[in-house]
Structure 1
Amino acid sequence: MLTSMTSTLITVAPTGAESSKADVPALPVTLDELVATAGDCEAAGASVIHVHIRDAEAQPTLDLGRLKDTVAALRESTNLIVQLSTGGAVTDPEEHRLRVLEAAPDMASCTMGTVNFGDDVFMNRWEFIVELHQRMRDRRIVPEYEIFDVGHLTSLERLLNQHGLPHGEHVHVDFVLGVPGGAPGDASTVTAFAEATRRHLPPGSTFSATGIGRGTLPVMFASLAHGGHLRVGMEDTVSYARRVPVDSNAQLVARAADAALLAQRPAMPVADARKLLNITG
């Protein structure tokens, strides 16, 4: 069974690699914008920040120097758990994605399989997944396993059985639902994924859920109903409601915190999130 929780871990994913600054002016793409966003989101109830970065032209990048500067700035300015994306953009080579770990974040993402991603393919070969899992453990980085389809949960079961538990020995996954080519972003899918998590992952494993675009609200409510946690942010949606653009990432975090409070599982403080995920240092 999943651990019974009395509060809700809220992760904010403020930028992503898909939207452009020209199309979404509120998107934080500079380091100063990201740090300001992080502080606002922490105040609104977030305890984890899932980070993609941009270059001087606001294009997605995995530049190691920029990643190190970003981790340092977020640690200096906030108490948030810093989680770097190893997914990057769908065109990033594996060696660059592995090199992200050299920036020494608290956490990093590990996507558990290849998935069609709109018109593109988000490639995650088995050998790459194993290498990422092992390097994170060697560097004492806690993974968040990203799940785009239900088969990714059985792949994670295989990974843990063959290569052992991650650093911290707590298994936390994030259901990413509603990507064109992946599992749909609706309540019934959250139910199916939550049940599969119970069947295939170690006792005490936890999950967050992300609803892309119009899936944001149904996925949010279903995750809370199943005892899960939440990821929100402008990486995943740039609309607050139909024809209403998002003002800021903090606006999305505040809505998630309000929903969690209504579910009688208020936003989890950062210190409690570190204990849940077994993040040390």
Structure 2
Amino acid sequence: MSPSTPGTLITVAPTGAEHAKSDVPNLPVTLDELVATARDCERVGASMIHVHVRGADARPTLDLELLRDTVTALREQTSLVVQLSTGGAVTDPEEDRLRVLDALPDSASCTMGTVNFGDDVFMNRWEFVVELHNRMRERGIVPEYEIFDIGQLASLRRLLDEHGLPAGGHVHVDLVMGVPGGMPGDAETLVAALRAIPDGATFSATGIGRTTLPVMFAALAAGGHLRVGMEDTISYARGERVKDNAQLVARAAGLARIAQRPPLPAGEVRELLGVSQSNS
């Protein structure tokens, strides 16, 4: 693993594919809501946005035209690094998930294995992972390797050994912790995961639900970066709902400053991750 950077990359994941708008009225689902959220989050410390899009019915979609419109709008109205999810909803077919890359974001997620996801199964076959990795490199899209369990870090090493470095030449992983069926969201597990991260890689960590704060503290202490947002939690504190995504980003930014690793601006994040200017 590379030495700790002097600042913190804060990614906001504002929407996700799990929460229904009817249950979470303040969830940003329209393009206008998403752009307004992105601008608010950038203002308080976010430098990257992890995007799931919703259709006119507020349900998750991988519609390519909407994805392209979203990438364009976020680039025009923010400086954020735009990362699209290739996970979609757990029921989305592989061909639709691969087509996400045709929207040419700066970055995209690449989940490194199949995982039980609550009562569902999030399927990521080895051949599909390889195809994602290779197509991203062809298009100059920087992957973020999503790790739901420690064994998936062994799969990442295999991927890099057999198929080479990603676009941009830098390996960045996101440890997704606290998903029912995946690795727990605690400091002990995070430390164990770091032993298996490839040399020279950087990492972010995401704590789902009530693991948000323990994972955030552990990641900062270990020199890592942070992902927060309403995709991952809709509770700010015990008995208190999240007001908006900017509230979560502001808390993460405040903790990063306390750790003397203040939020990194988007330009420095592009250099860190090897984001191509041709896609931006």
Which residue of structure 2 lines up, in the alignment, with residue 222 of structure 1? 218
- Separation (CA, whole Å) in 2 of partners of 1:280 and 1:158: 25
- Separation (CA, whole Å) in 1 of partners of 2:3 and 2:121: 34
Which residue of structure 2 lines up, in the alignment, with residue 236 of structure 1? 232
Which residue of structure 2 lines up, in the alignment, with residue 119 of structure 1? 119
8 Å CA contact retained: 2:46, 2:249 = yes
Instruction: In structure 2, give the amino acid aligned to 1:253.
Output: V
- Within 5 Å, give how 1:52-91 maps onto structure 2: 52-91=52-91
**CA deviation map 1:116-155 (0-9, x unaligned):** 0000000000000000000000000000000000000000
Instruction: In structure 2, give the amino acid aligned to 1:25.
Output: P
Which residue of structure 2 lines up, in the alignment, with residue 272 of structure 1? 268
Q: 1:263 aligns with which of 241, 252, 259?
A: 259
Q: 1:252 aligns with which of 248, 253, 256?
A: 248
Instruction: In structure 1, give the amino acid aligned to 2:27.
Output: L
- Separation (CA, whole Å) in 1 of partners of 2:6 and 2:39: 24
3-state SS of paired residue (1:196): coil
3-state SS of paired residue (2:43): helix
Identical residues among aligned pairs (%): 72
- Separation (CA, whole Å) in 2 of partners of 1:189 and 1:41: 29
Q: Give the deviation of 1:89 after TM superposition.
A: 0.1
- Does 2:40 correspond to 1:44? no
- Structure 2: runs of 5 or more not aligned: none
Q: Give the deviation of 1:186 after TM superposition.
A: 1.2
- Separation (CA, whole Å) in 1 of partners of 2:96 and 2:152: 23
**CA deviation map 1:47-74 (0-9, x unaligned):** 0000000000100000000000000000
- Separation (CA, whole Å) in 1 of partners of 2:119 and 2:99: 26
- Separation (CA, whole Å) in 1 of partners of 2:33 and 2:218: 31
Q: Give the deviation of 1:4 after TM superposition.
A: 2.3
- Does 2:162 correspond to 1:166? no
- Separation (CA, whole Å) in 2 of partners of 1:184 and 1:139: 34
Instruction: In structure 1, give the amino acid aligned to 2:178.
Output: G
Which residue of structure 1 lines up, in the alignment, with residue 128 of structure 2? 128
Q: Give the deviation of 1:188 after TM superposition.
A: 1.1
3-state SS of paired residue (1:6): coil
- Within 5 Å, give how 1:146-225 maps onto structure 2: 146-197=146-197, 201=198, 203-225=199-221
Q: Give the deviation of 1:88 after TM superposition.
A: 0.1
- Structure 1 segments, 4+ long, off by >6 Å, are none
| CA-based RMSD | 0.6
- Separation (CA, whole Å) in 1 of partners of 2:202 and 2:3: 7
Question: TM-score, normalization: structure 2?
Answer: 0.98
Which residue of structure 2 lines up, in the alignment, with residue 21 of structure 1? 21
- Separation (CA, whole Å) in 2 of partners of 1:280 and 1:115: 31
- Structure 1: runs of 5 or more not aligned: none
- Separation (CA, whole Å) in 2 of partners of 1:128 and 1:155: 13
Question: TM-score, normalization: structure 1?
Answer: 0.98
3-state SS of paired residue (1:121): strand
- Separation (CA, whole Å) in 2 of partners of 1:14 and 1:4: 26
Which residue of structure 2 lines up, in the alignment, with residue 5 of structure 1? 5
3-state SS of paired residue (2:175): strand
Q: Give the deviation of 1:3 after TM superposition.
A: 2.7
- Separation (CA, whole Å) in 1 of partners of 2:37 and 2:185: 26
- Within 5 Å, give how 1:96-115 maps onto structure 2: 96-115=96-115
8 Å CA contact retained: 2:64, 2:103 = yes
Instruction: In structure 1, give the amino acid aligned to 2:186.
Output: D
Q: Give the deviation of 1:185 after TM superposition.
A: 1.0
Q: Which moved more, 1:25-34 or 1:182-191?
A: 182-191
3-state SS of paired residue (2:211): helix
8 Å CA contact retained: 2:141, 2:276 = no
3-state SS of paired residue (1:102): helix
8 Å CA contact retained: 1:3, 1:205 = no
